[in-house]
Structure 1
Amino acid sequence: MTSALPASRAKHGTTRNETAALDESITAWALAARGGDADAVELFVRALHSDVQRYVAHLCGDPQTVDDLAQDTFLRALGSLHRFEGRSSARAWLLSIARRAVIDSYRHRAARPRLSDVPDWQLAVELAQSCDLPGFDDGVALLDLLASLPQDRREAFILTQLLGLPYAEAAEVSDCPIGTVRSRVARARATLMDLLDEASRPAALAA
């Protein structure tokens, strides 16, 4: 568990330059898709599908609805592409739509009580990643640590540190000031490092 935080970022992440270049490509695909390019639509959806699944899994707290919410997000996005002008990255724009889809889902479920409730966003995220990929165990360990964070800090950390959004775009997705996002990430990181230190002490003492 002591290597979960750095290992997850190293194995699942990319450099900031690579992330920025990918975001530029995704945004270009979104703009091309707006013009009716079918290939660009496929590239756009494929590039962001896993990010949307991870994000809605974190927000919705119900593993059974993750796929439906992801599909709803893309349907909304494709129906709104004519309004996308590329002023922000397509990733931030899409995650904002995902957030609204989850909020609307909460409101709908509040009006129609469910027979059962499965408040396990961790399980949904685990099921969304392949068990045979390198770093899977580290990723699950990181999810265990993230579960201990308050929801607002967890969301800020996932958006910036796992999904790679710049702080300004994470603030746009979360609908809060950029300073608030920076504060939440800093506090989340401090809490995670404290938890990693606590987890490593028994092993150090045993050694």
Structure 2
Amino acid sequence: MITPALPVSRDKRETKASKAVRTASFDDSTTAWALAARGGDPDAADRFVRALHRDVVRYVAHLSADPQAADDLAQDTFLRALGSLHRFEGRSSARAWLLSIARRAVIDSYRNAAARPRLCDADDWRLAVELAQPIGLPGFDDGVALLDLLDALPDDRREAFVLTQLLGLPYAEAAEASGCPVGTVRSRVARARATLMELLIEAETDTTAEPAALAA
């Protein structure tokens, strides 16, 4: 059952401007660490991995059909990234570059597992995403409601929503990470938002209708 959630109060909401500044500052830092790591700085490499590990785990957990492998996919992503740092020139943020590598790692895992039976069910997938999800997302009381809603979205729309709304990537970098045009990402996010709002309204309607049904 979807648990409807009320929006947080205005004073607790982060403005779009302040969120953009914070995201830009974070991306500037991680990109600087990636460039320093490319130059052979081991401390910068460690900072780069630590800063982006959670984002990578959350992203592959949403994409992967085998959530138990999320940590392995994240490790594979960082191994690929560290091995390719010599090709990273900082033209985009290190986070967008890293998530594009994560996406390829998931795709490769699909190909490698194509001939093998799935080892987990949808409930396990949802648990993995829930454990990787932050607390206090705007508009939701807890992660369970958001997971129920995201589960109803098509894969491409869910990916676009996760990249831009949960991980905070700009649309251009989300497009780079997912390998599609910016306009496509914007369209998928808009459609995802519309679907989520419809589901929230339906959930609220069902909730308010329950007492009347019981009284009858």
- The TM-score with structure 1 as length reference comes to 0.88
- In terms of mean alpha carbon deviation, does 59-68 or 147-156 score higher? 59-68
Q: 2: CA distance between counterparts of 1:176 and 1:68? A: 26
- Runs of 5+ unmatched residues, structure 2: none
Tell me if 1:184 matches 2:188: yes
Structure 1 pair 4–170 and aligned structure 2 pair: CA distance change class (3 A) = farther
1:97 to 95, 101, 113: 101
Q: What amino acid does structure 1 have at the position aligned with 2:144?
A: V
Amino acid at match of 1:202: D
Closer, same or farther: CA 5–188 of 1 in aligned 2, 3 Å: farther
Q: Equivalent residue for 1:37?
A: 41
1:114 and 2:117 are equivalent in the alignment: yes
TM-superposed deviation, 1:138:
1.3
Runs of 4+ residues deviating >4 angstroms: 4-7, 133-137
Match of 1:153 among 133, 138, 157: 157
More displaced 10-residue stretch of structure 1: 53-62 or 197-206 = 197-206
Given the alignment of the two structures, is residue 144 of structure 1 paired with residue 143 of structure 2, yes or no?
A: no
* Percent of matched pairs sharing the same residue: 70
SS at match of 2:33: helix
Alpha-carbon shift at residue 64 of structure 1 (Å): 1.3
CA deviation after TM superposition for structure 1 residue 10, in Å: 5.0
What is the root-mean-square deviation in Å for CA atoms of aligned residues?
Answer: 2.5
Higher Rg: 2
TM-score by length of 2: 0.85
SS at match of 2:84: helix
Q: Does 1:49 align with 2:53?
A: yes
Distance 2:160 2:20 in 1: 17
1:65 equivalent to 2:69? Answer yes
